[in-house]
Chain A
């Protein structure tokens, strides 16, 4: 299981976190076009290489942060940054983060 560098807690199991998808920036809602907005909502770039992505430290400090990860080696590039907004509420986490511990999922 990956250790994800939380800027507040330090390295933590990825199961303590909830993955929030690729980092993107929210278009200005007053001037956006449908194609820009839907790109923000639905399109992932999924590169084989460095990717800026959002994480939520759901079982820990409950802060959102953005970090660069290499999708081939899973190496993280320090340091993590404050989070950016994810378009849609991705994970149906419970109020207690209770869905984070995937038992035996790695074996």
Chain B
């Protein structure tokens, strides 16, 4: 599936990809920044438990050719990136016949929370331990975030803590608002 303009068959207005987060709020000064990255291409690669079709272990995330490869479940790997890079990676990787792939771009929302206090903000909505040793850069885990099952990936940006959060598309606005509210406490606090 695509989020860019697909080929046209019937002459109609150009379809436009729409995120499920429709209303963005301004980040309070100094608070962790919350951005919508839902339009990234997301492909789920499935194999047997214990297999390693992409060379990435469960709970680990690594970037390869611009694509973030995430061991999201013992039998599932998530590819996250822009459409061309994901397609290239898939085309150049050899998969066993038992591996299946499915584009879940439209099923999952994707938020990014960045800032020195982003772990503290997440602690207000999620029971995971975000300590640097327990959830280091390049780690991933799934848990309830504000009561919505979510996948969290630590993906630091320029040495600043940053988390990607994926969840079911239909919760978009609710989840955005809940996390945005959790960040408010950390406005104007530098560390």
Contacts and interface: CB of A to CB of B under 8 A. Distances in A.
A, B in one complex: yes
Contacts of B74: 8, 61, 63
Q: Is the interface of A mostly helix, strand, loop or mixed?
A: loop
A80 to B, nearest CB: 13
B54 to A, nearest CB: 17
Q: Is the interface of B mostly helix, strand, loop or mixed?
A: strand
B85 interface: no
**Tier of interface size on chain A:** 10 to 19
A101 B147 CA distance: 6
Nearest to B72: A61
A79 to B, nearest CB: 15
B175 to A, nearest CB: 10
Contacts, number: 46
Contact of A16 (B59, B143, B167): B143
B49 interface: yes
B168 A96 contact: yes
12 contacts: A8-B58, A13-B127, A59-B142, A59-B144, A59-B149, A96-B167, A96-B168, A97-B144, A98-B149, A101-B127, A101-B144, A101-B147
* Top 9 A-B pairs, shortest CB-CB distance: A97-B149, A96-B149, A59-B144, A8-B74, A98-B147, A101-B144, A60-B142, A101-B147, A61-B73
Interface of A: 8-9, 13, 15-16, 58-63, 95-101
